Amino acid sequence: MIDMSMGPVHISSGPGSDSRTMSLTILLSVLEKENNVIWMTRNLPDQRKIIDILGHLDDLTLSRMIVIEFGEDLQSKLNEINVLLSKFNKNDLLIIESWCENYGRAKAEEISLMKKLVENYGDKKIIITSESYEDASGKNRGLLGFMSRGGKTIEESFRTVWLTKIDNQYQKVLVKDGEKEFLVEATKKGYKLIN
């Protein structure tokens, strides 16, 4: 769904667009291709969402996934998995959901940590997610007046993929990846491409 061949990706999601469902959809795709995943998340989602999207996978497939809830301590959790990341093959995936808080500015330490992650493991498949925020300048920058978190440093280290809810279109989300745009629909089994 999202092309991972062009380097690390920052998924910036607008209100109601649900980057967690996108993360789980991508994670499922990687696991189904017999690759490994490390899924790091600030807070684990409701079990029902995980079961809906991943519940059909067998134990062997699920054994290729490590789930880490990092809360407020992303740096030490990343330090704990350095050895695993160094052994990742080219099709394995690291997803870090909510790499920064979803309010205010991203902290300098968080931005620096993401930059260091790419410097050390930029040849690996990495996705980070955060919620976008409204551009208060009135200049309508970003996507439809929403900005991605992390500023220029994150923009230089990660390719930004935007998720934005389509008004009056139940469960439909626009995905904008550079010049490419496509629609996905939220289903119980994750996002499904509809065009």
Q: Could you list the residue range(s) of the whole structural domain that residue 172 is in? A: 9-193
Question: Closest by alpha carbon to 143, among 165, 167, 162?
Answer: 162
User: What pLDDT score does 119 carry?
Assistant: 96
Instruction: Using DSSP, state whether 40 is helix, strand or coil.
Output: strand
- Residue 1 included in any domain: no
What's the number of domains the chain is made of?
Answer: 1
Question: Torsions phi, psi of 66, nearest 5?
Answer: -115, 130
Beta strand residue intervals within 85-169, DSSP E: 93-97, 125-131, 133-134, 146-147, 159-165
- Residue 162 included in any domain: yes
- Residue 4 included in any domain: no
Helices vs strands, H then E, count in the chain? 7, 11
- Residue 2 included in any domain: no
- Residue 142 included in any domain: yes
User: What pLDDT score does 139 carry?
Assistant: 58
- Residue 107 included in any domain: yes
User: What pLDDT score does 151 carry?
Assistant: 84
- Residue 20 included in any domain: yes
pTM for the model stands at 0.91
Q: What is the CATH number of the domain that holds 66?
A: 3.40.50.300
User: What pLDDT score does 78 carry?
Assistant: 96
* Per-residue confidence in pLDDT tens, the chain, 195 aa: 898 989 999 999 988 788 999 999 999 999 999 999 999 999 998 899 899 999 999 999 999 999 999 999 999 999 999 999 999 999 999 999 999 988 778 899 999 999 999 999 999 999 999 988 665 555 555 555 566 888 899 999 999 999 988 877 778 999 999 889 999 998 988 999 996
User: What pLDDT score does 195 carry?
Assistant: 65
